[in-house]
Amino acid sequence: MDEAEWIAANAARLGRALARPQVRAELLALLGTDDAERRRQRRLAAARAELVGLELRWRIGEDEDAWGT
């Protein structure tokens, strides 16, 4: 592998790593640029991403008594 191939391969790996919010957050923290507002925005983004995968469906006419609570 020559230098250009090595650079291209590692740039691709870095791009994939930086696509992950957790990696970006860790990098910001290590660089000391992770302020309270950024942490808040990151937590909100993580919560929204998690909620996207959740879906709650209620049948019409169903109430909480049907759940046995």
| Structure confidence by residue, pLDDT tens digits, 33-69 | 767 888 888 788 888 888 877 776 666 666 666 665 5
pLDDT value, residue 66: 61
pTM: 0.43
pLDDT value, residue 58: 65
For 14-20, what is the mean pLDDT? 92
The domain ranges of the chain are: 3-50
Helix locations, the chain, DSSP H:
3-18, 21-31, 36-52
Q: What is the mean pLDDT of the chain?
A: 81
